[in-house]
Amino acid sequence: MITESLLISFGAEIKDYKAEDIIFREEESPMYYYQIEKGKIKLNNYTEDGKEFIQNIFSDGQSFGESLLFVNRPYPMNAVAMEDSSVFRIPRQNFLDLIRNNPEVSLSVYECLAERMYYKYIMLYNLSFQNPVSKLKLLMDYLKSYHEEKTPYSFQVPLTRQQLASLTGLRVETVIRTIKQMEKDQMVKIERRKIYY
């Protein structure tokens, strides 16, 4: 995360988005570095039949789409506000100047990109699974790995069943059925519709 004062000193502005507003579209050219002040943003695509596939979900303090600022290629995904959100936006060249002039920020950006690559490897591996339990368990293991408490049921999965479906390529009905089965098998606990892993 780049500090707000540093972003502003390099020309960042805050843009407000309503839930469902599109921040950028697939095939557009990357023009800005984006960092969420508050809110939740998803990166997604749609299949030919209109089914949504969520690539990732970001929240307060996280950046998104920055890897495309280093290559001259269009966005391969959309960025959509999931709730009312405020996002810092800094022009591409200003962002590149910022990281050139601030080596500690540059290292932080590299770490963030490496973490994103790790997530992509996990999710790519996830696509090879046919078993929905394996798909959901791998995603939950990844999410819980950032949570300090590792005991069973100590982690509340911060995603809806629809979001779990969109992240794993499963149908929402399959996710609902699978979560119930995972509860019977004592892999998860459900309390007030919240999933604990």
pLDDT grade for 17, boundaries at 50, 70 and 90: very high
Using the 8-state DSSP alphabet, how is residue 66 labeled? G
Cα–Cα distance, 123 to 139 (Å, whole number) = 8
pLDDT-derived band at 105 (thresholds 50, 70, 90) equals very high
Whether residue 182 has pLDDT greater than 90: yes
pLDDT recorded at residue 1: 86
Find out whether 83 and 23 touch, Cβ atoms under 8 Å: no
Distance CA 183, CA 34 (A): 38
Specify the residue for token string 């269009």: 74
Is residue 124 pLDDT above 90, yes or no?
Answer: no
CA distance 74 to 178: 36
pLDDT given at position 128: 83
- The pLDDT-based confidence of 67 (bands split at 50, 70, 90) is very high
Average pLDDT on 143-154 reads 92
Q: What residues are paired with 195 via a beta bridge?
A: 190
H-only helix segments in the chain: 4-9, 92-101, 103-127, 132-144, 161-168, 172-184
Determine what percent of the chain is predicted with pLDDT higher than 90.
89
pLDDT classification of 40: cutoffs 50, 70, 90: very high
Helix or strand (DSSP H, E) at 195: strand 194-196
Are β-strands 189-191 and 194-196 bridged in parallel, bridged antiparallel, or unpaired?
antiparallel
Main-chain dihedrals φ then ψ at residue 30, nearest 5 degrees: -65, 125
